Chains A and B, each alone.
Chain A
Amino acid sequence: MKVTEKDVEHVAKLARLGLSDDEKKLFTQQLSNILDYAETINRLDTKNVAPTSHAIPMKNIFREDKAIPCENTADILANAPASENNMFSVPKILE
């Protein structure tokens, strides 16, 4: 699969991953190689084959609708890189 640098830029944007120019070039080449190899799976006939999402088939796993408070919410907030009035702060969101 020929992956172009434009493809790499687009994917990096989807993944919110900042890449340097060198990284873009390197990934363009590496991704092409890896995807070439990955495409070997196309040799297999999977016409009537269902995909496996769960290796061990299970269904209907539920929990009861009961509210149970977490006793250390403060520890969760303590990890915030920036916070204000018990909320997680983020820098300005540009449109």
Chain B
Amino acid sequence: MELFELSAHELHAKIEKKEVSVSDIVKSVIDRINKVEKRISSFLLVNLDEAINRAREIDDQIADGREITLLTGIPVMIKDNMCTRGMLTTCASKILMNYIPPYSATVVEKVLQAGAIPIGKANMDEFAMGSSTENSAYKKTRNPWELNSVPGGSSGGSAACIAAQESILALGSDTGGSIRQPASFCGVVGLKPTYGRVSRYGLIAFASSLDQIGPITKDVTDSAIMMNFIAGHDKKDSTSVDVPVPDYRKSLINDVKGLKIAVVKELIGKGIDEKVKKCVLDAVATLKRLGAHVEEISMPSLEYGVPTYYLVATAEASSNLERYDGVKYGLRSGSAEDLLSMYYNTRREGFGPEVKRRIMLGTYALSAGYYDAYYLKAQKVRTLIKNEFDRAFSKFDAIISPTSPTVAFKIGEKVNDPLSMYLSDIATIPVNLAGIPAISIPCGFVDNLPVGLQIMGKAFAEEMLFRVAFTFEQNTEWHKKRPAL
């Protein structure tokens, strides 16, 4: 096997045993990128020269006796909505086309400090708004399994680069499913941690009460490893929780005997593709065979997740995106004779249609006369959804559903039907609304396109997720499949 095909934990073992150098690894990854990137387009910014230099540096340090962490020397792709000091960060938007952040996100700093090697910034839906990465202002990323299909979104670039093996590890962000859904579409592992588990400082905000950064990886072990490094309290983020970070590797237990797992009736009902449903039910059967106690439950409030989300998330986003105005950074329109024209034209030219749509929706939901009926009501429904999850978790250790009702759709298929696009997030959205963690792991294929299994846990129960996911992984071969590129 080539080095680029290996997982982070496999490469770490080789580095430790001095079987390979970090430069070897980076070189292997670079060759791979050069071979496939023009077909995938997962990168907005490629940082390869820097990566080579850094690899050399780290090799020297290792020779000098530098302590090696599990991330030392491992190439990592960073979604382009995370600030990287001195390095262009655009959120895949024209409005930040020339923005060089004066600081780095906490998670980026952590990962760098651990010795990982950033190889570039990943393409995404503009400002993380979308489920296909088609809303990027710069390029479309393709699904490595089927190049005319979408990789999912908004962390499409991050998921695609892992599936195409252009990077060993990747960071994505998830507000309504943006890590899990692309992980599902691309056949890789994607985790959205509990809200507050990972710092949001430096993550360019979409919906503040829903956003989280999480790992996108080739297998569950790598996901656990990344969590060891990125999780933790950050005093720069008031919403980050001060709860100790366990060694998540300890939860990689191949045993689900006696665990109580619920399958949500509403998420395997109407709207879900029959073949996707079959894959998921087969996966559930596997878990049952391995000793888990499985039961179907009804969570009727989940049906209201999507409309609730499109009021809460867009309201917060409409406010978070007010700062993009041509005054301090980023694009300033050429038609800016006075302040108002500068505002109107800069935002008109700088934002794409989906972003505009959501700003309009969110502003509407907060506007005078509508606040109670829309935003406030939605926040109350959010409580109902959260309560329903709490009730379910009092009886069950984990809740399972398909990550997405379909496999990856074709590029262009849903672009003109926003509502249909929004509905594809029906299984992932309630998780963000409740603030709980969830992981998507590959569990099958439909017409050679991957199907994702979503495992949800109660707040701070990432260990339970890893245990169930790891068990499934150890007893199946889905995660070993790679697209033919």
Contact = CB atoms under 8 A, between A and B. Distances in A.
Given A19-B348, A51-B376, A63-B235, A81 B339 contact: no
Interface string A37-78: 111111010100111111110100101000000001001101
Most buried by B among A19, A31, A41, A80: A41
A35 B383 contact: no
A92 interface: yes
A6 interface: no
Contact of A92 (B304, B338, B344): B338
B337 A91 contact: yes
Contact of B384 (A44, A58, A72): A44
Interface residues of A, number: 53
- Chain B's interface: helix, strand, loop or mixed, by majority? helix
B201 to A, nearest CB: 13
Interface residues of B, number: 72
A37 B307 contact: yes
Contact of A19 (B356, B364, B378, B459): B356
Contacts of B377: 41-42, 46
A49 B380 contact: yes
B364 A35 contact: yes
Contacts, number: 173
Contacts of A23: 353, 356
Interface in B293-344: 301, 304, 306-308, 310-311, 318, 322, 325-332, 336-344
Contacts of B196: 55-56, 58
A56 B337 CA distance: 46
A51 to B, nearest CB: 3
Given A35-B374, A90-B342, 20 more contacts: A15-B318, A16-B325, A16-B344, A17-B348, A17-B351, A31-B360, A41-B311, A41-B381, A44-B384, A51-B379, A52-B380, A54-B239, A55-B433, A56-B459, A61-B238, A78-B100, A91-B336, A92-B337, A92-B338, A94-B339
Interface of A: 3, 7-8, 10-12, 14-20, 23, 27, 30-31, 33-35, 37-42, 44, 46, 49-56, 58, 61, 63, 72, 75-76, 78-82, 88, 90-94
Interface of B: 98-100, 102-103, 194-196, 209-210, 235, 238-239, 241, 301, 304, 306-308, 310-311, 318, 322, 325-332, 336-345, 347-348, 351, 353, 356-357, 359-361, 363-364, 367, 373-374, 376-384, 386, 418-419, 422, 433-435, 459
